[in-house]
Structure 1
């Protein structure tokens, strides 16, 4: 039996109405050689299972609630049969030609490990908010070898990437030990040291903003720079970056941490010392601290 070319991993929890729209956006794709793996993160009822049973090519799995999306995504990865992997949360949508365009790029550009784009923003009712997120000032910022441009600056919008399964085989799974608001950032940063990114400067997905968004909980990101330092230390120990690049990225993580000063003053100061004992010797760090405390 031939495996599908693309495995679409959909994580869901207690949002059957949104999940239906999400699944329909996949089945409306102009590209059809895919499987859908729905991982239910412990919804108390069986409405999601009933919904999934109405669709062909959908495999439904329910797990005990893990408190975040990392474990469900990892379960989906283990079940995936496709050469390419895509992720989709149960409240986001794809535009119809998303997979077709991205598959064509990865089939044609063998030196790229994933392809991604920016997102249109929709509200809880699916209405466009005339806002695009994930678009850089210039497209080249998110294109090519981004390993020295990504950490501490930006991340990939979760509903947009299509990636080679072999990249995951190299970088490993999502970090299930992290708070549930930064595990995607940490994962994509690890990927940036293993693969080139192909960026399409068009919205291929719709990101829904509503009260239930995990990413809206800014305080959960306060420990993220510490986890990114672990990634940085690992790639440095493996001699994938130079000492100069290590220092550059560590400085950027200090800046990232200082920008969180208003979320929690004492944790931010403690964590920035963990990142770099002598962070305060950098004039720009002190300027940023003053700016964040008094002028922003």
Structure 2
């Protein structure tokens, strides 16, 4: 028997100060979008904090969140905390007390029956949501009508009524993408999944006689019915782990789990969890049992500890042998379980190899590397510590020294190691990594760069929210110097922070490779990295992806790429090749320009800046080479520099003349060296710019100055300063 009670009827009520309505609250006449159900029993110490947290939700402020409180005849005085909220928000909060205690799932069923919201979610009294959690989840359901449920990640605490301060006692718990067979091991859709209200019309309500496993039982029915759930890559709230919760206090939980497993590992039910039609062949059915067993090793991490269930895994392998007595994987795994129990084998690497074929990661990060072990260790560490745990790191050793010992020392089975027998450069190395990758999303990190902790979660979460197959974030450029054998960052700044525009992309490479994440499926249409390109291979791929798919920018700094003053960056050493590939890409995609007159000028400006950068680097290399500045370089010396820089003989000679000009004291000598530099290579933008500046500063020969400015503007028509000076000179001579 249940009755809704008036606040004045309750013997639990005590006098309390009235609650003031939030100034942001809007009493909407629209029906609520979301209904949050709060089941109450022995929760007096949590009640006020729970309700404060819910009325602070962004959806509540919009009048789109309904709260239904089901008091299962609690012996405590929760109503004294509930009453002020009922008074302040009578249209959005409803309260019902039962005359006898019921299970939490019976209470949820009552709340669902009363719910007016399109979506429903339970809100445990001892948990706390982030302020926008319910709005975020509802947006995903709004955006994708094919979705029936969404869930996200949680912070875990052991302190009651804790707050989101990310102290050492809190740790992230990352849920996997929705993979129904994992429900046989744990509640993968979290303890607070948001469901469409219509789901209960399709599959029925929670099984109310269960005390602990009712939410898992519902999701097993959900999956068996072919309904679709999705994990949102975001931290939604704060979960309290304590010994007196229903999950830990009820002794019936183990028996309920055993009953569920017996029910859903029957051949027909198990096949449905894998999305297979029934009946299936005996060999195929045996393989399903093997795959289910393979999930039982280290299926999640709780704080610092991995959780396994070898007993259930063993039962699944034995069941596989019932259907296929010759199944080799089942026999092998049973042997591994025996050796693990005897302490003879950790099982981690072997088992990970089996599980790798069962549950693919959400994202694969491709890391090409060659002989930079210390930097590589730091780069990989930044990936392994991502807030997303469903990932793999595909390390591609591009013909360098053996990395086996280094990678094994990291003790993480998410690392995949590929070793190319000879150096094939970055494009080929990345393509090899992509071919080995299993993730739905592909990301990239060079071995000398870093991800910040939330990089992948931020970009992938944005992609899923916006429904785009490719997105990029912003990054810091970190300038480093060598100090006592170590690199020290002396400056960080943001160079690129541009919204996506395909016309601009055809003119300039403004998306650093570590910022980009795209779906693997993009490569099926756009193709892989062009292995004929040593540099700008990422730019070329972005252009091809943008032909077919929308790309969006995430306006968040989530990573950093590093440049070092000692020229050890790959892109720094290959500046001459960057000039050549820029020209090649401009020619390759010229026909795709929508506004050729303006964009061609932008391309000339981009090439000019690339040429200046190349000559600055070549001069730096000449200065550090030890070759006398007053002596013309020898052919063997030029040949050695060609190998190091990929610059042509004429470019190297031009760079030497420009370098020599900086040692001249007299203006005439300096101008002579600059003219020789330009004669050796008319594209020496640095020498052309400097010569124009010197001639205009001397003001002794207006004609020479005007000619120098015209030469400069031929290389860079976007140089407004040069154009302004030229116009002033022309007006003066008229």
TM-score range, shorter chain: 0.7 to 0.9
Root mean square deviation, CA, Å: 3.1
Residue 129 (str. 1) matches residue 479 (str. 2): no
| Structure 2 counterpart of 1:254 | 604
Residue 52 (str. 1) matches residue 402 (str. 2): no
Residue 216 (str. 1) matches residue 572 (str. 2): yes
| Structure 2 counterpart of 1:183 | 537
What secondary structure, in the 3-state scheme, does the structure 1 residue paired with 2:396 have? strand
| Structure-1 separation of matches of 2:437 and 2:561 | 24
Instruction: Tell me, yes or no, if the aligned pair for 2:535 and 2:577 is still in contact at 8 Å.
Output: yes
After TM superposition, the structure 1 = structure 2 runs for residues 34-49 of structure 1, keeping only pairs within 5 Å, are: 34-43=391-400, 45-46=401-402, 48-49=403-404
What secondary structure, in the 3-state scheme, does the structure 1 residue paired with 2:503 have? coil
Instruction: Tell me, yes or no, if the aligned pair for 1:114 and 1:164 is still in contact at 8 Å.
Output: no
What secondary structure, in the 3-state scheme, does the structure 1 residue paired with 2:367 have? strand
| Structure-2 separation of matches of 1:111 and 1:159 | 18
| Structure-2 separation of matches of 1:267 and 1:65 | 35
Instruction: Tell me, yes or no, if the aligned pair for 1:7 and 1:84 is still in contact at 8 Å.
Output: yes
Q: Residue by residue, what CA displacement relative to the aligned partner does 1:85-116 show, whole Å, maximum 9, x if unpaired?
A: 00011111111111111121111111352233
| Structure-2 separation of matches of 1:115 and 1:78 | 22
Q: Which moved more, 1:119-128 or 1:211-220?
A: 119-128
Instruction: Tell me, yes or no, if the aligned pair for 1:156 and 1:185 is still in contact at 8 Å.
Output: yes
Instruction: Tell me, yes or no, if the aligned pair for 1:174 and 1:187 is still in contact at 8 Å.
Output: yes
- CA-CA distance at 1:50 after TM superposition: 1.5
| Structure-2 separation of matches of 1:111 and 1:203 | 19
Instruction: Tell me, yes or no, if the aligned pair for 2:399 and 2:421 is still in contact at 8 Å.
Output: yes
| Structure-1 separation of matches of 2:717 and 2:595 | 23
What secondary structure, in the 3-state scheme, does the structure 2 residue paired with 1:130 have? strand
- CA-CA distance at 1:247 after TM superposition: 5.2
Residue 66 (str. 1) matches residue 438 (str. 2): no
| Structure 2 counterpart of 1:274 | none
Alignment CA distance shift 1:174-1:78 (3 Å): same
What secondary structure, in the 3-state scheme, does the structure 2 residue paired with 1:17 have? helix
- TM-score normalised to the size of structure 2? 0.34
Aligned residues: 267
What secondary structure, in the 3-state scheme, does the structure 2 residue paired with 1:173 have? coil
Q: Which moved more, 1:206-215 or 1:188-197?
A: 188-197
| Structure-2 separation of matches of 1:261 and 1:8 | 32
- CA-CA distance at 1:27 after TM superposition: 1.1
Counterpart selection for 2:529 from 162, 174, 177: 174
Q: Which moved more, 1:123-132 or 1:196-205?
A: 123-132
- TM-score normalised to the size of structure 1? 0.78
| Structure-1 separation of matches of 2:561 and 2:393 | 19
Instruction: Tell me, yes or no, if the aligned pair for 1:118 and 1:200 is still in contact at 8 Å.
Output: no
| Structure 2 counterpart of 1:29 | 386
| Structure-2 separation of matches of 1:133 and 1:175 | 28
- CA-CA distance at 1:52 after TM superposition: 1.6
Task: Give 5+ residue unaligned stretches, structure 2.
Answer: 1-357, 616-650, 652-677, 684-709, 726-734
- CA-CA distance at 1:287 after TM superposition: 6.9
Task: Give 5+ residue unaligned stretches, structure 1.
Answer: 270-281
Instruction: Tell me, yes or no, if the aligned pair for 1:254 and 1:285 is still in contact at 8 Å.
Output: no
| Structure-2 separation of matches of 1:61 and 1:88 | 15
After TM superposition, the structure 1 = structure 2 runs for residues 64-143 of structure 1, keeping only pairs within 5 Å, are: 64-121=421-478, 123=480, 125=486, 127-136=488-497, 141-143=498-500
Instruction: Tell me, yes or no, if the aligned pair for 1:119 and 1:160 is still in contact at 8 Å.
Output: no
- CA-CA distance at 1:226 after TM superposition: 2.8
Normalized per residue, the structure richer in helix is 2
Q: Residue by residue, what CA displacement relative to the aligned partner does 1:136-157 show, whole Å, maximum 9, x if unpaired?
A: 3xxxx333xx211122233211
Instruction: Tell me, yes or no, if the aligned pair for 1:119 and 1:207 is still in contact at 8 Å.
Output: yes
| Structure 1 counterpart of 2:716 | 288
Instruction: Tell me, yes or no, if the aligned pair for 2:362 and 2:390 is still in contact at 8 Å.
Output: yes
| Structure-1 separation of matches of 2:562 and 2:528 | 25
| Structure-1 separation of matches of 2:362 and 2:606 | 38
